[in-house]
Structure 1
């Protein structure tokens, strides 16, 4: 089943989370970046569900959080999410792992809106931190893998222009033929 959940994706640090937050302020239901949320939670509590400690448990936790968000969205409502299940396929491939059959099945079962917005590489805003440890070049390679994965799954990719946050939001909403926001 496909839902009106619009994925905003791209390499790490290219402006996805800022867009998701701006869309939330406009009144849309949004899902955050599950992997980053889990890493933050686990680091805060001293947990073991981290990609460098227990990769399998981490992948399962990320998948479950993405499924929970997908299932929380009504079939007719519009929602936006910072990365989708296909991103996990791309990250597994980037890290040199064959994505599991379960993960491939989840990417097939949980369908998003057919248009995916891609935040392209943007060196001027890229910042590393304790969770985003990839170099800009690595982030660009991850970006390429993400684009390939979504293309291979039949999604239509639309690059988000490199401009102000408000202009990027307006671009996405215009492409989807949605009003400027639920609360406006």
Structure 2
């Protein structure tokens, strides 16, 4: 399988922060699919354990740059596998964060990387399940603004964004898988 072939099996779950991506990812993992956790949450957890400043609310450029590096490493690992791999966010989300912080076009940042599967699944804003925690310190308004940036960016980059309905996690998993057949 070539690199481009394997990339066509790399599916991104993106969208609104606190919209249920990680829960959906866990459900897909339970069903036997390979999954990759969100780079941003991993970075925040590492930074909070030390005295790091690569936090989105402290230094968004450093955070986004680390997220790009981590997402690129995640892709390299996934390239070694065949079949579907689901990513909780990834390179595009990190490039959009960097664009937001610096005005560097996401398309320029992403030029060196193969695309993910053309269909990307976005969780919409869902205030009823949104919670702030130690690793998600922004408010719902900021999460909605990020969601809108991502939706526009995915379309502009040639992806086919599909909005995941607000329903049970099992129904969400079925919805995603049905759109990949």
| TM tier, smaller | 0.7 to 0.9
Q: Is the 8 A contact 1:5 1:80 kept in 2?
A: yes
Report the equivalent of 1:25: 30
Report the equivalent of 1:180: none
Q: What 5-or-longer segments of structure 2 have no aligned partner?
A: none
Closer, same or farther: CA 132–172 of 1 in aligned 2, 3 Å: same
Report the equivalent of 2:132: 128
Q: CA deviation at 1:174?
A: 1.2
Q: Is the 8 A contact 1:3 1:76 kept in 2?
A: no
Question: Aligned runs of 1:17-166 on 2, under 5 Å?
Answer: 17-73=22-78, 74=80, 76-95=82-101, 97-99=102-104, 104-108=107-111, 109-166=113-170
TM-score (norm 1): 0.85
Q: CA deviation at 1:61?
A: 2.0
CA distance in 2, matches of 1:121, 1:48: 28
Closer, same or farther: CA 54–134 of 1 in aligned 2, 3 Å: closer
1:6 and 2:11 correspond: yes
CA distance in 2, matches of 1:49, 1:89: 15
RMSD between aligned residues? 1.9
Q: What 5-or-longer segments of structure 1 have no aligned partner?
A: 178-184
